[in-house]
Amino acid sequence: MADHLGGVERGAVPSLPRRFRPLGVRVAAAAFAVVLVGTTAVIWLAFSDDIREQFTPVQKATVLAIGLAIFAVGHALVRCRIDADEAGLTVVNGYRDRRFAWAQVVDVTLRPGSPWAVLDLTDGTSQSALGIQGSDGGRAQRQVRDLRALVDAHAGAEPPSAAEDDESDGPAGGDQPLT
């Protein structure tokens, strides 16, 4: 049963599949894109024809390349997420995807002042999870609580079989992210 803010009631385990995404980053990226494109278009259209003709193809290409680079960074931020399904978690940070079996994840934390959540893993390492952003405030806290409930509910889940692990880049044993 969901609470009025979209989270799951305390003590309840969210249903799967479940996607966790930051809201503030997506809103900020969309707003920035609209302002940037709008401002650029207004300035370009405000130029007289003689001024526009003075721009060389290299200068136009440079402005376009900068715009594409800004878009690529914005897209990387917007696609950050954590997907939970029956097999485990997929953490998408920018253009990098990491797959973890439930048995690999020990805990989920979001300390006060931290920019994003962190997954503590069984091998003693941790993985940043940009899909839950501290700047989302109470929403982020609910997402951490829901993800922690899922991790706790799946604690002790069997690691992937040797046949599944052969496809990963890491050593066998199920303690490396699945690819």
State the amino acid at position 119 in one-letter form.
L
Is residue 155 situated within a structural domain? yes
Is residue 14 situated within a structural domain? no
What pLDDT does residue 105 have? 96
Percent of the chain with pLDDT over 70: 80
Are residue 111 and residue 54 in the same domain, yes or no? no
Is residue 3 situated within a structural domain? no
Query: Which own/partner pairs from 16-19 qualify as long-range (CB within 8 Å, at least 24 positions apart)?
Result: 16/84, 16/85, 16/86, 16/150, 17/83, 17/84, 17/85, 17/86, 18/83, 18/84, 18/85, 18/146, 18/150, 19/81, 19/82, 19/83, 19/84
Are residue 35 and residue 103 in the same domain, yes or no? no
Are residue 156 and residue 96 in the same domain, yes or no? yes
Is residue 12 situated within a structural domain? no
Tally of residues, the chain: 179
Domain final residue pick, 36, 60, 77: 77
Is residue 1 situated within a structural domain? no
Residue for token digits 């709008």?
A: 38
Return the minimum-mean-pLDDT range out of 11-25, 108-122, 157-171: 157-171
Is residue 107 situated within a structural domain? yes
pLDDT digits 0-9 by tens, 129-149: 999 999 999 999 999 999 999
Domain final residue pick, 36, 57, 77: 77
Is residue 49 situated within a structural domain? yes
Residues contacting 25, CB < 8 A, separation 6+: 77, 78, 80, 133, 135
| Res. 178: pLDDT tops 50 | no
Question: In which domain, by residue range, is 135 found?
Answer: 81-165
Pairwise CA distance, residues 46 & 69, whole Å:
24
Mean pLDDT over 115-124 rounds to: 96
Are residue 123 and residue 61 in the same domain, yes or no? no
Are residue 72 and residue 94 in the same domain, yes or no? no
Is 51 within 8 Å of 44 (Cβ atoms)?
A: no
Are residue 87 and residue 109 in the same domain, yes or no? yes
Are residue 54 and residue 95 in the same domain, yes or no? no
Pairwise CA distance, residues 69 & 86, whole Å:
36
Q: How many domains does the chain have?
A: 2
Are residue 108 and residue 73 in the same domain, yes or no? no
The SS3 assignment for 9 reads: coil
What pLDDT does residue 176 have? 34
Higher pLDDT, 60 or 164: 60
pLDDT digits 0-9 by tens, 77-110: 999 999 999 999 999 999 999 999 999 999 999 9
| Res. 5: pLDDT tops 70 | no
Are residue 44 and residue 88 in the same domain, yes or no? no
What pLDDT does residue 172 have? 37
Is residue 172 situated within a structural domain? no
| Res. 6: pLDDT tops 80 | no
Are residue 69 and residue 116 in the same domain, yes or no? no
